[in-house]
Amino acid sequence: MLLCITMKSVCQKHHPAAITNTQTITQANRLFRAYAIFLNHFFSFTMKPTFVLLLLITALAFNACQSDQNASKPANKEGAAETKKPKHKIVNMMGKIPPQLFAQKVEDPNVVLVDLRTPAEIKETGIIKGAVNIDYQTNNWQDQFSKFKKDQTILVYCAVGGRSGEAYTQLQQMGYSRLFDLQGGLYAWMKEGMPLEKQ
């Protein structure tokens, strides 16, 4: 109502001829009243708790969507990184390494390569180039390792990995800290087509 009176006063001041038409004034008053009612209802609704709650729920839902999108990006990166990981562990807890990595270490002239099989086995299959034979089945096999330094890299292997696994554990107890055992033994080495020297 105050809006209608104000607008009517403005019209009378600046356009006195315009208010001479009663029908025009009546239509204008109706338009102003309708507009005032609309504004009154609008502001009354927006101040209600229901409307405020609706806005809050909408804001929380939007934030949740944004959080999900941001969280999915690192996950995709992690997934991409996982595909680059090898299918197997290169070195396990018992120091066993696959033939490919064992062959790389054999090429190092500073390492000690030890074949723990019997001389008869070596004669039958051959030996990895550069290896020295210390028969694990002898009573003094541990004494023969005393000629090697405790911090020297030592590679051991046998036929399938049983004897070399036991020797690995005992050598660790003796203080040897840089030990590696051929995973699967000479059988795995031969299966990969790795070279051998005949004795």
4 catalytic, yes or no? no
Strands of 43-189 (E only): list them.
96-97, 112-115, 132-133, 154-157, 179-182
Catalytic residue among 4, 11, 65, 158: 158
The tokens of 137 are what? Answer: 């089945």
For residue 197, give the DSSP letter: B
Across 67-102, b (16+ Cβ under 10 Å) vs e yields eeeeeeeeeeeeeeeeeeeeeeeeeeeebbbbbeeb
| 156 residue type, one letter | V
State the Cα–Cα distance between residues 75 and 23, nearest whole angstrom: 71
Catalytic residue annotation: 158
